């Protein structure tokens, strides 16, 4: 996904890490983010975790060559399960599917409850992830979009709180992105519109009776997306 070293996407994730916090980078892979966070002086301790040995070995090599082995601890294991409650205040979970991010959060309720902030960068299924956060006592503190190598990435920052959003279109686009009229919002809306137009095309060619009903739902969804786009212009 990323070229060698820190990039715009990882720098954006780093910008949501509050100085001085103890951080866990879940699915660290190369450990570029932990290395940047410590080298820049933003934090002094990171627990870099990965479920797979191979990426963790790469992370170890990078951490050792950066001379930060005493500040970046590497742990092998699944999601937040490698942490004890209270060990870190902030977790970054980036570069994996939204469903995987949700499963990671769901699987470790005690560790999750001890966290102050989540910095998430899901690769898809953003609506489901936002819905899960809101249903489980988290609020959407901030959101941003990053365009890198012609790919659009969504970053969601979440903290504990009470927020209710039921509108599926707002949940898919991102309430904070809409509020701040993010400059890359037109790109996101184009992407979503393209996706649903394709769905519509598939449904219009179907002879199944349930396709007609779905077709109307998708048409309405596209109309709502256009409404959001209009508001953000």
Ligand X SMILES: C[S@@+](CC[C@H](N)C(=O)[O-])C[C@H]1O[C@@H](n2cnc3c(N)ncnc32)[C@H](O)[C@@H]1O
Sign of CA dihedral 168, 93, 5, 177: positive
Among 43, 46, 63, 95, binds ligand X (CB under 6 A): 95
Q: Which residue's structure tokens are 């819905």?
A: 131
Residues 6+ apart with CB under 8 A from 36: 6, 10, 11, 14
C-beta separation of 88 from 47 below 8 A = yes
User: Which one, 92 or 140, has the nearer CB to ligand X?
Assistant: 92
β-strands 72-76, 117-122: how paired? unpaired
Restricting to residues 98-127, which ones interact with ligand X according to CB under 6 A?
100, 104
- Residue with Cβ nearer ligand X (81 or 193): 81
- Among 12, 38, 46, 79, interactor with ligand X by CB under 6 A: 79
Residue 94 engages ligand X in binding (rule: CB under 6 A): yes
129-150: buried (b, 16+ CB within 10 Å) or exposed (e) per residue? bbbbbbeeebbbbbbbbbebee
E strand residue ranges, 27-150:
46-50, 72-76, 90-96, 117-122, 138-148
Contact flag: residue 172 with ligand X (CB under 6 A): no
> Which CB atom, from 28 or from 144, has the smaller least distance to ligand X?
28
In the range 8-47, which residues lie near ligand X by CB under 6 A? Answer: 26-29
Stretch that binds ligand X, among 96-104, 164-172, 179-187, 202-210 (CB under 6 A): 96-104
Q: Going residue by residue from 44 to 63, which x/- string records binding to ligand X, judged by CB under 6 A? A: -----xxxx--x--------
- Asked if 199 interacts with ligand X (CB under 6 A), we say no
Nearest to 132 by CA among 77, 93, 95: 93
Binding site for ligand X (CB under 6 A): 1-2, 26-29, 49-52, 55, 78-79, 94-96, 100, 104
């Amino acid at each position: 996904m990323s070229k060698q070293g820190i990039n715009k996407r990882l720098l954006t994730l780093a910008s949501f890490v509050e100085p001085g916090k103890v951080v866990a980078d879940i699915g660290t892979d190369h450990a570029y983010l932990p290395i940047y966070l410590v080298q820049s002086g933003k934090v002094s301790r990171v627990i870099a975790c990965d479920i797979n040995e191979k990426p963790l070995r790469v992370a170890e090599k990078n951490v050792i060559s950066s001379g930060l082995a005493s500040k970046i601890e590497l742990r092998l294991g699944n999601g937040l399960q490698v942490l004890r409650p209270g060990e870190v205040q902030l977790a970054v979970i980036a570069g994996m599917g939204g469903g995987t991010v949700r499963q990671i959060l769901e699987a470790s309720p005690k560790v999750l409850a001890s966290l102050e902030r989540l910095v998430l960068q899901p690769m898809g299924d953003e609506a489901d992830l936002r819905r899960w956060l809101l249903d489980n006592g988290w609020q959407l503190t901030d959101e941003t979009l990053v365009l890198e190598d012609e790919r659009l990435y969504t970053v969601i920052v979440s903290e504990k709180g009470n927020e209710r959003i039921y509108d599926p279109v707002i949940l898919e686009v991102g309430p904070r992105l809409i509020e701040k009229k993010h400059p890359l919002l037109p790109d996101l809306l184009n992407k979503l519109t393209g996706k649903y137009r394709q769905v519509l095309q598939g449904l219009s060619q179907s002879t199944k009776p349930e396709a007609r009903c779905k077709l109307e739902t998708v048409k309405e969804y596209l109309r709502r997306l256009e409404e959001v786009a209009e508001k953000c212009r």
